[in-house]
Amino acid sequence: DVVMTQSPLSLPVTLGQPASISCRSSQSLVHSDGNTYLNWFHQRPGQSPRRLIYKVSNRDSGVPDRFSGSGSATDFTLRISWVEAEDVGLYYCMQGTHWPQTFGQGTKVEIK
Amino acid sequence: EVQLVESGGGLVQPGGSLTLSCEASGFAVTSTYMIWVRQTPGRGLECLSIIYIDGNTDYADSVKGRFTISRDDSENTVFLQLNSLRAADTAIYYCARDLFLSPAYWGQGTLVTVSS
């Protein structure tokens, strides 16, 4: 299975300041169809995960534009341009290129 | 509006069986890939099984031969049959609508506890 490795695992942030999370995959995530199926999710305590970003850099409907994704092949980044209180929780990267789809271990974002 | 509602979780003894259901609304389960994902504090999020538009299926090695995914088109529902359950299968089980090879819409989850 493809191993997804996130860093950092814990990210204390200041409200209004930027934040970024890194994700590396053990294999290239470029699919035979040419797309790269790397996704980002956010999960608040007691809630189901919510997808934020699909195919590296596409925001899902309703996701604020302060969230952005970038990267290629095996190295990816989620950036929050400025952190708001509602952004706390766990963030996961996830690859869909290879079955089984696999998640990173999660990054806990909390307010300093 | 897309909605997914899981049911069927509960307490089951090791070696027992359970069937989880995922009732969909706002779209047809035959029009998309559907996936089951579970979450535990120790192993995090784990994709277990997927059913494709053509009805073909795939499984993670950890559940292959024990879990079976299926769907009922008339009920617009996807199922996950869990057999030979182990303590390690204790988790919250989610169903999701897969778009662009990732779970785009999630249900609220159903808790499965395997214990004697």
pLDDT tens for A44-98 read 999 999 999 999 999 999 999 999 999 999 999 999 999 999 999 999 999 999 9
- Residue whose C-alpha is closest to residue B84's, from B17, B8, B13: B17
* pLDDT value at residue A4: 98
* pLDDT value at residue B41: 87
Contact at CB, A96 and B60, closer than 8 angstroms: no
d(CA B101, nearest CA chain A) in Å: 5
Contact at CB, B109 and A50, closer than 8 angstroms: no
Torsion of CA A24, B101, B105, B92, to 10 degrees: -60
Distance CA B52, CA B33 (A): 5
Distance CA A53, CA A38 (A): 8
Distance CA B110, CA B59 (A): 19
Give the burial class of A63: count Cβ atoms within 10 A of its Cβ; 0-12 exposed, 13-18 middle, 19 or more buried: middle
Distance CA A57, CA A9 (A): 21
Contact at CB, A48 and B104, closer than 8 angstroms: no
DSSP 8-state secondary structure symbol assigned to residue A104? -
Q: Which residue has the tokens 């277990």?
A: B48
Give every CB contact of residue B21 below 8 A, 6+ residues apart in sequence: B6, B7, B8, B77, B78, B79
At A8-58, the pLDDT tens digits run: 999 999 999 999 999 999 999 999 999 999 999 999 999 999 999 999 999
First to last CA, chain A: 35
Our separate counts of H helices and E strands in chain B read 0, 11
Q: Are the beta carbons of B19 and B81 closer than 8 angstroms?
A: yes
Contact at CB, A100 and B106, closer than 8 angstroms: no
The token pair that represents A60 in the structure block:
């899902």
Nearest CA in chain A to B103: A51
Q: Is B29 helix (H, G, I), strand (E, B) or coil?
A: helix
User: Which amino acid is located at A3 in the chain?
Assistant: V
Q: Which of A48, A51, A97 sits opposite B94 (nearest CB)?
A: A48
The token pair that represents A69 in the structure block:
């994704």
All residue ranges of chain B with pLDDT < 70 are none
Q: Are the beta carbons of B97 and B4 closer than 8 angstroms?
A: yes
Question: CA angle, A85 as apex, A84 and A86 as ends, to 5°?
Answer: 90
